[in-house]
Amino acid sequence: MKFRTVKSIWMRLSSSIDFLKHHTTWLRAIVGVVYFLLFVVLLSSNIFVSTLQLEIGEPSPQLITAPWDKDIEDTVGYSRDQDKAAKAVKPVYQPDEEYLNLLTKDLEKTFTTLRDTLSTTGDDRTRINKLKQAQLFMDLPEKVLSSLVKIKPDDLNAVEQISKGIILSRASNVDSGARIDAEMPGFRERTKADLSQSGLNEEVKALLKVFVDQEITKPTLIVDEVTTDALRTTAKNLVKKNVLRYKANQKIVGPGEIVEESVYQVLRAYGLINSHNTWKSAAGIALIVLAGMGTILVYLFQYKRDILRLTNRMVLIGLTMSIVLAIGRGVMALNLGPDYNNLSGMLIPVAWATMSVAILIGVDVAMLVCVVLAVFAAVLVDPSLSTAFGLQAGLVALFGGIVGVYSVSHLSQRSDLARAGIFVSGVNILVISGIAFSSDMRLMVWVVGVILGIVNGLASSFLTVGALHWFESGFRITSSVRLLELSNPNRPLLKRLLMEAPGTYHHSILVGNLAEAAAEAVHADSTLVRVGSMYHDIGKLKRPYFFIENQFTQENPHDKIAPTLSSLIITSHVKDGLELAKDYKLPQQIQEIISQHHGDSLVSFFYHKALEDNENVPEEAFHYEGPKPQTKEAALVALADSVEAAVRSMRQPTPGRVEGLVRKIVKDKLHDGQLDQCDLTFQDLDRIAMAFVRVLSGIFHSRVEYPEIPSTREHGSASLNKKLLGEADQEDGNGPQMDNLLENREGSARN
């Protein structure tokens, strides 16, 4: 029963793996989710790691001491002192213009009522009764009312102006006006005292005192918020920050002691306690990671879909980024001392990741990875992004990574990697110095920062050299460094080619020169083209003497066999070359060039020879198996191969005839459909032809005719020739052949 259960689980797992292999979209999606979670964990891990879980007001469960010397700004005390200074500033008051306008209207309304009464026809009793209808006049004694109805209308205007002046001047004065409700009784008494001392008659004084008691019911002054806030802000700014100086092992809080806000602040500064918004911070980091990964994916989808379709490339990008962040997490745990711990972020080797991606995948992708990793480095150093240390680490990572990319963008030898480390160190020094000057960094801190920047650059170079082989092998990616290693003439396969098929070896070298020049003209991978050319004919090692360039005698083995067999031998060198390439573990790109450098073209010489014997011979038997060139690089090798062989067979290779033949071969390849599946344009073909002609003109240039050799040297040379001829005749009876050899040697000496 257990066996069946295990077997069923294994079958389900196997089917799931097979499903993912055939559905790469799902596989890439799973890989993306895994890397997303990994990035979030690496960037936010330190906000979850804490030795204590305390809150303000709780007792400490243990004695907590300072891990190292540290100066901590007392932000709690600073905030408290600022609040105290702000509260000490008395508010500034100003007249309540809206309320004073309302009082003015009420006072004018009172005198308007009195005027209307005085203008009423009738006796005094009638006028008094009319006044009593108004609320203000109802509380006045009969005697006062009798006097008021006898005031002359002309005197009433003057009385009104005097009344306004006394009441409103007192109310609008910032010193004598009422600020709060508690000041209202005193304000009314002072206003009525002013009225008593005025020159108004007693009846009017009595009326105005009633007005003051009934109508002035709220403070006449309000706070001038703008001026008050400005004074309070000034008072806050005058408060100086207090720095708490803690020594290593100094007590922060004892067991059972209440954790006050100031103590909590110190614990957080040392990273000994978690904040209340841990999950909120993690969510913010997750959004930043999502934005960074999304930016890379959108760019690849828009401009580099070929990379997006290759799962191993995507895994490599994520792996390099993950390793850099993991190294950064380890670096952040280093204790560099109280004054230098904030500089540890400058050791994060972002340049290593960007250089590796640039070499293995591409420069443009590496540039984007550099920008995203710089942001991640800033978050890694300061997850809350509340200090300048994260920004500083991000700037060092950004500029160092960019310089690293450009340093390896034209990699031609391993020493370039060492030089790249020096360049990264140099730009790190510049950036750190710029940060030091702009932030008023102390001299020793700047010196340590510069040292860390140099270590960062050199470490990035060492890591690139060390990891490059493993990345290439693990992800089956061929870098330019690997290609340069394969181009070494001491490689076993090339040594075999030189010794066993020297003609093919020299042919391959010339093809490499032609193809490399053409690759530079059309912006193809010139290193891949050159190395691919060196290995494209290794299949001829199986039967080297069946190929014309390796036939150093007058005998041609093809004269003794049928054309169909000759064609089979010729075309089989592609298959033989692939087998050798696999045996020697040559990169896939080289294998593709080997299989595609003849496409499915026709072996025309033996086909026409076969037609002489049998007109019904099938043409299919004389074609290469293909496939046709799929890339620019394979097409360039195919064109260079045909051009080199054709030009070598010319009897009089003048520049004009060479150019004509080159263009004819390119045109024939195009019309034969051999270039249909690669992305070469007509403009590219013209540039390729011109590059071929330029290289071939250097090979088949005209010679300068030298004067005749002096007679003494001719005599000596003739004697030497006779001696050698005699020796050769005695050895193998091949005197004419040796004569030709000597003639060739003399010709070579003259040239």
Tell me: do 717 and 589 sit in the same domain. Answer: no
Please tell me whether residues 607 and 731 are part of one structural domain: no
d(CA 145, CA 133): 12
Q: With 50 as the cut, is the pLDDT of residue 13 above it?
A: no
Arithmetic mean of pLDDT, 599-605: 88
Tally of domains in the chain: 4
pLDDT of residue 518: 94
pLDDT at 116 over 90: no
Q: Looking at residue 693, which CATH number applies to its domain? A: 1.10.3210
Given this model, what pLDDT does residue 576 score? 92
Q: Are residues 540 and 555 in the same domain?
A: yes
HEC string of 618-631 equals CHHHHECCCCCCCC
- pLDDT surpassing 90 at residue 688: yes
Using the predicted structure, report yes or no on whether residue 14 has a pLDDT greater than 80. no
261 SS3 class: helix
User: Does some domain include residue 228?
Assistant: no
Whether the predicted pLDDT of 387 surpasses 80: no
pLDDT (mean) for 512-527: 92
Residue 687 forms part of a structural domain: yes
Mean pLDDT within 28-34: 86
Q: Tally Cβ neighbours within 10 Å of residue 473.
A: 11
8 A C-beta contact, residue 351 and residue 424: yes
Q: Tell me: pLDDT of 724 over 50.
A: no
Domain membership of residue 511 (yes or no) is yes
Q: State the average pLDDT over residues 15-28.
A: 57
Domain stops at, among 419, 444, 477: 477
Quick: pLDDT tens for 118-141: 777 777 778 788 877 787 788 788
pLDDT in tens, 210-232: 888 888 888 988 888 888 889 88
- Going by pLDDT thresholds of 50, 70 and 90, the confidence category of residue 708 is low
Average pLDDT over residues 275-280: 63
Q: Is residue 69 part of a domain?
A: no
Residues 473 and 578 in one domain: no
Same-domain status, 288 and 401:
yes
Same domain, 161 and 197: yes
Residue 466, pLDDT score? 86
* Pair 305, 385 in one domain: yes
Residues 365 and 415 in one domain: yes
- Would you say residue 257 lies in a domain? no
Residue 410, pLDDT above cutoff 80? no
- Looking at the fold, whether 394 and 324 belong to one and the same domain comes out as yes
Q: Which of 453, 482, 459 is nearest to 353 (CA)?
A: 459
- In a domain, residue 705? The reply is no
- List, in order, residues 6 or more apart from 668 with CB less than 8 Å away: none
Residue range(s) defining the domain that contains residue 368: 6-47+276-477
Please tell me the least confidently modeled range out of 273-277, 316-320, 459-463, 685-689: 273-277
Task: Indicate whether 1 pLDDT > 60.
Answer: no
Dihedral of alpha carbons 175, 178, 181, 183, sign = positive
| Same domain? 457 vs 497 | no
Q: Is the pLDDT of residue 281 over 60?
A: yes
Last residue of a domain, one of 223, 239, 266: 223
Q: If you average pLDDT over residues 263-268, what whole number do you get?
A: 80
Whether residue 113 has pLDDT greater than 80 = yes
Angle at 700 between CA 697 and CA 703, to 5 degrees: 115
CATH number at 386 reads 1.10.1760.20
Same domain for 560 and 588?
yes
Percent of the chain residues topping a pLDDT of 90: 28
| 503 and 586, same domain (yes or no) | yes
Of the candidates 477, 502, 529, which is a domain's last residue? 477
Per-residue confidence (pLDDT) for residue 643, from 0 to 100: 92
- The pLDDT tens digits for 45-72 are 776 654 466 778 888 877 888 766 677 7
Domain annotation covers residue 267: no
3-state secondary structure 262-291: HHHHHHHHCCCECCCCHHHHHHHHHHHHHH
516-525: average pLDDT: 92
238 within some domain? no
